[in-house]
Structure 1
C-alpha cells in the first residue's frame, strides 16, 4: 500500500502520527489497518469520550455484552472487559510498528477511570491493573496531569510501566510532568527495571487553549485583543517544546538516565481538531512540526492533512521568542493565563467524567435488556 505523501512528509519530519480514536468497528472492518497502510498511522489513543461513542453506536458490542450479561457481569466489569479487549487487539495489530520503531511507536493508550483524577493511590492501582489485564508491551496507560496525577505518574513509571500523561495545558505543568517522569525513571532504575523498555509521552492540549482564550479576547474586544485570536494554542505548544528540549536535549539529569538506556518523553500534541471554522483545519498539525513529537489526530483532521496539508518542515524550533511575545501580549491585553489553564484542567477532567458516567448508564441499560 502507498502512504499518502502529505502524511509521509509529516512522518519524515519527525512527527509520529497517532489516531485519536478506536472502536471495534474500526478493528473488524479493517479500517484501522487501512489507516496504518495508507495514512502513516503508527499509534492509537483513546479516552473516556471515545469509548462512550464507540460503545453507544452501532451493534459491534452486542454479542459480547450479551455474553457478559449472561455471566452476571456488573457494569464496571463489562466496561473494563470490552475496552481492554479492543485495546489489546489494537496493540496486536500495531505490534509490527512497535517492533520496527524500537518501541517508540505502535502504541495504544488506555486511560484510568477519570473519576480517579484526584486520587493518587487509586490511580496507581488501576494503572497497574490495566497494564496486567491488557498484557501487551506496546500499551500505554493514560494518567491525567492533575496535582494528584503527578506522584501517580512517578509511581507507575517506577513499576516499569509506560505512561501517556494527558490533560496538560500549561508549560509549568509540563515541566512538573517531565520531573515526575525523570523521578519515575530514577526509581525504576533503582528497582532494577530495564529503562530502555519504558516509554512516555506528554500530551499537551492545543485547540482547547485557543477556544477558551479566543472567547475571552472576543469579550474584551478592540483591535489589539481581537488580533491575538488563534495564536495562543500554537504558541503554548511551541513553548512546551522548548521546555522539552531544555530537559531532554540539554539536561544533565536525563543524560545520566540516558546512559542507562532511558528514553525521551516525547511531547504529544493532543486536541488537534480545529474548533473554529475560520482557522485552517490543519492548523495544529502544520504549525507544530518538530522532531521527536507525536500528533494524535481525529480522523477528520487526519484526512484533511492527507488532502491539503502543507508540510513545510520544522515549524517549531527557533520560535520560542515569538511564542513568548504572544503570551506577553495576551497578558497585557488582560488574559489571566494561569486562571485559563486551571479552568481548562478542571473542565477537561469534568468532560471525561461526564462521558464515563454516560457510558456507565448506557452499558447498564444494555445489560438490563439482555438479562
Structure 2
C-alpha cells in the first residue's frame, strides 16, 4: 500500500499519534509489537488492568517468570507488580528509538496505578512514584484516574517530575479540572527544581462508552427527536474537549509555563473501538482527526482504519458549535447528561477493579500450581 493510499500514514501525517491499546508478553516476544511499529505507524502503547488480565489469562509466556516468583515465595501482589512492570519496561525499551526520534513526544508506554486506589489520593501518589522508580524508563507514563481523589494525585505526581497519562475522563468539565491539575503540577515542579521539558502528559478522554450509555437512554426515551440523536454524543463530546484544550493551552497561564520549557498535555482519544455494530468501525478515528492528539486503538481498529478508513484532514477544529448543539438536544429530550458522566466514571473504575481482581486470581492460581 503506497503512502498516499494508506489511511494510517495519512492519519499520522495529519498529526495524530497512533498508539496501540494493548500489550502482552506474547506481543513482545513474538515480534508482533515490533511489526506494528514497523508496518502500522504505531508509536506508543497504552495498557490497563483489563488488558493485563486478558494477557495473563491466555498467555503461557508468563509461566517461567511465575514459576521463578513462586520459588522465591513472592506474594500475589508482588508477583503482579513484577510481571506487569517487566512487560512495561520491555515495551519502553522497544519504543526507545521512537522516543528519541520524536524528541520524547511519542515512544510512550503507559501503566496504571492499582485501580482499587481510585478514591485514595495519598496511596495513588505513593503507587505512582513507586511504579515510576520500579520501571525506571524515561518514556514511561503513569496512568492516574481522573476521579475527584485522582486530581490532586495528578498534580503531586507531576510536581515530582513524573510523566502522567490521566485516564477515565468522560466530561469536558472534569477534563478542565485535569488540565488545571496538570498546570498546577508543572508550576510546583518548577518550584521543586525539575526540568519542565522532561515532563510529559496525555489526557485520556474516553469516547465510545459515551455513545453506549447515551444511546441506551435515547432508545428508552423513544421519541423521534431522541432517536435521531443516537450515535452523536461521543464525537461531539470529544470535539468539545478539544476546544477546551485549545482554550487552556492558549492561555496566559500556559504561555508562562511554555516559556519555561513545559510541554502541553495532549488529548488522547481512548475507548475508540466501536461497540455498536451498526456504526462504522472507524468512526472514532476518522471523525476525530486533529493535530497534536493521540488515538490509542485496539489492533482490530488499527487494521480497520488501514483497510477502509477515509482520512481527509482535520475533522475536529471549528466544530465545537455543532457539538454543543448535540448536547443541547440531549438535554432537551430528557437525557440527564451529568448523570451519564457519573455513571460512566463509576462503571469505569468498577470495571478496572474487577479486571484487577481477575488478574490477582489468575496469578494466585499460577503461583499455587507452580508450588505444586
TM over 0.5: yes
| Secondary structure class of the residue paired with 2:85 | helix
Distance 2:104 2:184 in 1: 21
Say whether 1:136 aligns with 2:137: yes
Q: Which residue of structure 2 aligns with residue 70 of structure 1?
A: 71
Q: Which residue of structure 2 aligns with residue 48 of structure 1?
A: 49
Q: Which residue of structure 1 aligns with residue 30 of structure 2?
A: 29
Distance 1:333 1:134 in 2: 49
Q: Which residue of structure 2 aligns with residue 293 of structure 1?
A: 293
Say whether 1:354 aligns with 2:354: yes
Q: Which residue of structure 2 aligns with residue 197 of structure 1?
A: 198
Distance 1:183 1:101 in 2: 26
Say whether the 8 Å CA contact 2:44–2:107 is kept in structure 1: yes
Distance 1:178 1:74 in 2: 37
Distance 2:101 2:248 in 1: 27
Deviations 1:238-275 (A, max 9, x none): 00000000011x20001000000000100000000000
The structural deviation recorded for 1:362 is 1.1
User: 4+ runs of 1 displaced by more than 6 Å?
Assistant: 1-4
| Secondary structure class of the residue paired with 2:360 | helix
Deviations 1:138-157 (A, max 9, x none): 00000000000000000000
Say whether the 8 Å CA contact 1:165–1:177 is kept in structure 2: yes
Say whether 1:161 aligns with 2:162: yes
Per the normalisation by structure 1, the TM-score is 0.99
Distance 2:213 2:192 in 1: 43
**1:67/1:356 Cα in 2 relative to 1: closer, same or farther (>3 Å)?**
same
The structural deviation recorded for 1:58 is 2.7
Distance 1:243 1:104 in 2: 21
Distance 1:261 1:310 in 2: 36
Say whether the 8 Å CA contact 2:25–2:59 is kept in structure 1: no
The structural deviation recorded for 1:2 is 7.9
Say whether the 8 Å CA contact 2:202–2:266 is kept in structure 1: yes
Say whether the 8 Å CA contact 1:2–1:37 is kept in structure 2: no
How many residue pairs were aligned? 370
Distance 1:41 1:58 in 2: 23
The structural deviation recorded for 1:5 is 1.6
| Secondary structure class of the residue paired with 1:43 | strand
| Secondary structure class of the residue paired with 2:335 | coil
Distance 1:276 1:95 in 2: 36
| Secondary structure class of the residue paired with 1:272 | coil
Say whether the 8 Å CA contact 2:18–2:44 is kept in structure 1: yes
Distance 2:264 2:292 in 1: 8
Say whether the 8 Å CA contact 2:49–2:355 is kept in structure 1: yes
Distance 2:200 2:362 in 1: 34
> What 5-or-longer segments of structure 1 have no aligned partner?
none
- CA RMSD in angstroms comes to 1.0
> What 5-or-longer segments of structure 2 have no aligned partner?
none
Structure-to-structure mapping, 1:259-338, within 5 angstroms: 259-338=259-338
Say whether the 8 Å CA contact 1:2–1:38 is kept in structure 2: no
Q: Which residue of structure 2 aligns with residue 97 of structure 1?
A: 98
| Secondary structure class of the residue paired with 1:60 | helix
Q: Which residue of structure 2 aligns with residue 363 of structure 1?
A: 363
Distance 2:121 2:223 in 1: 44
Q: Which residue of structure 2 aligns with residue 172 of structure 1?
A: 173
Distance 1:102 1:254 in 2: 20
